[in-house]
């Protein structure tokens, strides 16, 4: 991923956050990733770590239409994915999508109420709606609208050891080609 792409994604996210009244705390930790695949416009996400404590984490994320966060699960982390602006599609699987049949039941929470989903089901979240994934539930998400602000509130975050992606080529951080001066420092810098 080129640093110029990262800088552009940073500016787009800042503009969207400002246009929608989201003020960032001082010194947020930025993470702009193509998941190591080199296709940021297709498989990419802009994340801002708002707080990281021993017990919990809060992130604000930005994605544009066409950008997918690849299917993954967590062994330990329980998380709420919250649509803050735009419309968000979340696809859920009871286990690894390559190991479980579509339609296999799984359990999650939507807006605080437990429900049974059919593996492969896609939920559309409007602003303010949330889905809570328990450990082991595989999920992928992407904007239905031109851009989307996504919140995450979770138990402690360990990106290095608690992200299990279906695609073995997916990496958590991007390989960066330095073609211009960084506009912001990233977690991976």
pLDDT of 18 over the 90 cut: yes
Three-state SS at 119: coil
Interatomic CA distance for residues 171 and 136, integer angstroms: 19
pLDDT the model gives residue 160 = 82
- Please enumerate in sequence order all residues whose Cβ is within 8 A of that of 9, keeping only pairs 6 or more positions apart, or say none: 32, 40, 44, 46, 62
Is residue 59 very low, low, confident or very high in pLDDT (cuts 50, 70, 90)? very high
If one looks up domain 48-165 in CATH, what number appears? Answer: 2.60.120.10
Beta strand 88-93 with 45-52 is: unpaired
Task: Return mean pLDDT, the chain.
Answer: 95
pLDDT digits (tens, 9 = 90+) for 91-125: 999 999 999 999 999 999 999 999 999 999 999 99
pLDDT of residue 161: 87
Q: Give CA 11 to chain center in angstroms.
A: 18
Q: What is the pLDDT of residue 158?
A: 84
Token pair for 9: 């994604």
């Amino acid at each position: 991923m080129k640093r110029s792409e990262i800088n552009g994604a940073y500016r787009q996210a800042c503009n969207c956050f400002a246009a929608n009244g989201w003020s960032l705390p001082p010194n947020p930790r930025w993470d702009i990733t193509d998941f190591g695949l080199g296709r940021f416009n297709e498989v990419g996400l802009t994340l801002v770590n708002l707080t990281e404590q021993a017990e919990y984490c809060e992130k604000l994320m930005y994605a544009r239409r066409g950008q997918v966060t690849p299917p993954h699960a967590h062994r330990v982390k329980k998380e709420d994915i919250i649509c803050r602006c735009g419309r968000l599609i979340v696809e859920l699987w009871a286990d690894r999508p390559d190991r479980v049949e579509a339609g296999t039941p799984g359990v999650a929470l939507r807006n605080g109420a437990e429900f049974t989903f059919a593996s492969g089901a896609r939920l559309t979240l409007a602003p303010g709606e949330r889905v809570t994934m328990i450990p082991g539930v595989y999920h992928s998400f992407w904007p239905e609208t031109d851009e989307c602000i996504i919140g995450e509130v979770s138990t402690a975050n360990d990106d290095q050891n608690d992200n299990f992606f279906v695609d073995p080529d997916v990496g958590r951080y991007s390989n960066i080609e330095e073609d211009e001066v960084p506009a912001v420092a990233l977690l991976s810098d």
